[in-house]
Amino acid sequence: MKTLADNLSDFEGISHGFFGARGGVSTGIYQTLNCGQGSKDDPEHVAANRQIVASELGVEVDQLLSPYQVHSGEALIVDQPWRKHVERPQLDALVTNTRGLAIGVMTADCAPVLFCDPLAKVVGAAHAGWRGAFGGVLDDTIEKMCALGASRQNIAAAVGPAISLAIYEVGDEFRARILQEDQGNDRFFSTPAGASKVHFDLQAYARHRLITAGVANTQLIAHCTYQLPGRYFSYRRSQSSGHADYGRQISAIVIG
């Protein structure tokens, strides 16, 4: 049901997981562990799936927090569950040092990134599509962690399952924008044999942003969400299949 990152797994009192598409109660195109509150799935199924994830992490379901994601570059420090009947904050990363408060993000091709400073007991979770990664969401997550006492040299970060270089076609304008930031970013692009468009390595780019920000302890879980339909949800796969909607998997971390 979940994949663990080796570089986050040995920290005492920290639980995490890159959860996939299996192990829940949803049906149809949402089979089965769809945790996306913004999907058109039955809300009761989504709530039950989030309860499954919360239980796996050892927390109550109201202690499993995820933002309303908007492909921003912003992270938020949180220290308590959302108040009932209040809209979730619209941003793309959460940071906390509160024990028992699980923070997570939804993905369906974008890269989820989980962070931990095991000494300061500070954790983070970020949703890094290309806009977010390019716009600084990983950098802001690290900044917010440091504001709670973390240090860059002690932070470990893992980039979770996302669409792979083999699948992720992009346009020339996209490439030009990324290269405008740094011509060295050209190494994240290639055109596979037989392909008509250039492809982008989102996971490697996200990892590069982490290292550039001073986080040396990084890991990349090289699972392609598009190519593993039995294991992960994928927005692009749903589009190519003509589906009206798609499921979202959750990646989360908690200080126990």
For the entire predicted model, the pTM comes to: 0.97
Tell me which residue has tokens 């992490």: 57
102 in a domain, yes or no? Answer: yes
By the 8 A CB rule, do 108 and 233 touch? yes
CATH number of the domain residue 103 falls in: 3.60.140.10
236 in a domain, yes or no? Answer: yes
Over range 47-68, report the average pLDDT: 98
At 58, is the pLDDT very low, low, confident or very high (cuts 50, 70, 90)? very high
- Print the domain residue range for 56: 2-164+201-255
Tokens of 215: 């986080």
Burial of 77 (0-12, 13-18, 19+ CB in 10 A): middle
Over range 69-97, report the average pLDDT: 95
Domain count, the chain: 1
Burial of 236 (0-12, 13-18, 19+ CB in 10 A): middle
The two counts, helices (H) then strands (E), for the chain are 7, 14
Over range 236-248, report the average pLDDT: 96
**Span 110-147, pLDDT tens digits:** 999 999 999 999 999 999 999 999 999 999 999 999 99
pLDDT confidence of residue 192: 86
Parallel, antiparallel, or unpaired for β 217-220 and 2-3? unpaired
